[in-house]
Chain A
Amino acid sequence: MEVLGVWIAAGLTLCIFSFLYRDNPFYKFAEHLYVGFSAGYWLVYTWEYTIKGMLIDPIRLQHAYSVLIPGFFGVLMLSRWFPRIAWLSRISISFTVGIGAGLALTGQIHGFILPQLKATLLPLTSINNFLIVFGVITTLFYFFFSRERKGVTRVFARIGIVYIMVAFGAAFGYTVMARISLLIGRFLFLFRDWLHIIKV
């Protein structure tokens, strides 16, 4: 079964790679298989980790029947399937959106803005510190569109672009690295686990 599994995996890998030559039935087959299995996987883990993990287990182990209330609101989310009562799903959605917004409001200030600003308040005793402070300020200037760019604001915005371009270039370099890594992973699978011509 193990060997059959590896051959199936290798076959599907080659089906996807065949797209590089051109779109073809093997690729389409593999693509639809992937989407279908992924959707099935979502449903399996929704049962295992949401319904069983968060509803059935608390009732079974802790007699926490109060979880039926959010369970009911979760089911209410599915009222979207029925146009006449679809508006009921807004109750569940608004609950989750409200919680998310409340968490984000305090979290972003306390967990991001303040620590990042604190880390930018550096003594200008070294070139690196100066470059960091100047870089953050000029980048923020670039994104400030409420005022016409004249004089100092124009110069700062131009310098901000320089920093942003360096950042994007670095990001591109790392993106190339990431994509090549994924390809290396697949070839390692084909040569090690399928064809057994290398040992790692």
Chain B
Amino acid sequence: MGFWERMARIDRRIIYLFIAVVVIVPILLQITLPVTVSPPVRMAYETIDALPESSVVMISIDYDAASMPELQPMLRAILHHCFSKNLRVLMIAQWALGVPLGIEALESVAKEYGKKYGVDYVNLGFRPGGMAQMVGMGKEIRDYFLTDYRGTPIDSLPMMRHIHNYQDIALLVGLEAGATGDMWVIYVGGRYRQDIILGVTAVIAPDAYPYLQAGQIKGLIGGLKGASEYEYLVGKPGLGMAGMTAQSCAHILIILFIIIGNIGYFMIRRRK
């Protein structure tokens, strides 16, 4: 068997080892690389930045632990931005498995700014219904959320007294790992003209560009890179920026794999 045939049949565990090493070493060395902000992320940042103080920002947690490494840093950076500008945060979830992730980030970031639950932020939790709930909240949120995530009646929370539907919400931020973002844009953005920003995993980021170009969303934060850019903009480096060097090295390695794989393919084909 020739060299290229042996290379083509290489044990996949060797490939896994290369990936592991290339990701682990930069993490351990804690090298940080400069971050350049892309236009869609800057648009998202400027949209939130332009909101007047005390505006209500609804953040929808539409992901679970599988997408946590990409979207949790994004969520934290957005919460830092909102609380530093004294915006009020109303959190809901369309993915039930994401509720605790939202709770963790909201409580820990709010504590840093001395924000008070019920006055500066409220977490409504999850209710079933998907797009029906999204459309229904356009008339009255209380048709779906009579209590918050802990069972406290929302009418007892000062912040919720004057919030009834999307007209009382300045901006909706959807953190998306699936098709829920499309539903927000189509059913809420389309019907109620709600301003929307999407923070998405890198897998679905390409699908969101048509919405961005059409003006249906005001900004787009895509993947861990987008999270690192937003962290840079708010001045709160976190897991997003920490992972960029490892991300870069892994990408270069995969490109090398593609090149070597193709060279081998053409060499074998030529020999045959």
A81 to chain B, nearest CB (A): 20
A78 within 8 A of B: no
**B-chain residues with CB within 8 Å of residue A107 when the two chains form the complex:** 131, 186-187, 190-191
Asked whether, in the complex, the Cβ of A178 is within 8 Å of the Cβ of B201, the reply is yes
Interface SS majority for chain A: helix
B10 within 8 A of A: no
Assembled-state Cα–Cα distance A197/B25 (Å): 12
B62 within 8 A of A: no
B1 within 8 A of A: no
B77-93 vs A, CB cutoff 8 Å, 1 = contact: the mask equals: 00000000000000000
Residue in contact with A181 in the complex, picked from B28, B70, B185, B214, CB distance below 8 Å: B70
Asked whether, in the complex, the Cβ of B187 is within 8 Å of the Cβ of A111, the reply is yes
Asked whether, in the complex, the Cβ of B250 is within 8 Å of the Cβ of A182, the reply is no
Pick out which of these stretches binds chain A: B35-43, B51-59, B157-165, B241-249: B241-249
Asked whether, in the complex, the Cβ of B242 is within 8 Å of the Cβ of A188, the reply is yes
Asked whether, in the complex, the Cβ of B238 is within 8 Å of the Cβ of A200, the reply is yes
Asked whether, in the complex, the Cβ of A170 is within 8 Å of the Cβ of B247, the reply is no
B10 to chain A, nearest CB (A): 15
- Given A132-B213, A174-B222, A185-B70, 8 more pairs with CB closer than 8 A: A112-B190, A174-B206, A174-B223, A178-B202, A178-B203, A182-B67, A184-B224, A186-B69
In the complex, 30 of the A-B residue pairs with CB atoms within 8 angstroms, ordered by the A residue number, are A21-B13, A38-B97, A42-B96, A53-B147, A57-B146, A99-B132, A107-B131, A107-B187, A110-B190, A111-B187, A111-B189, A112-B182, A115-B215, A119-B210, A119-B215, A174-B202, A174-B205, A176-B254, A178-B203, A178-B223, A180-B251, A180-B254, A181-B70, A182-B70, A184-B23, A184-B246, A185-B69, A186-B69, A187-B27, A199-B30
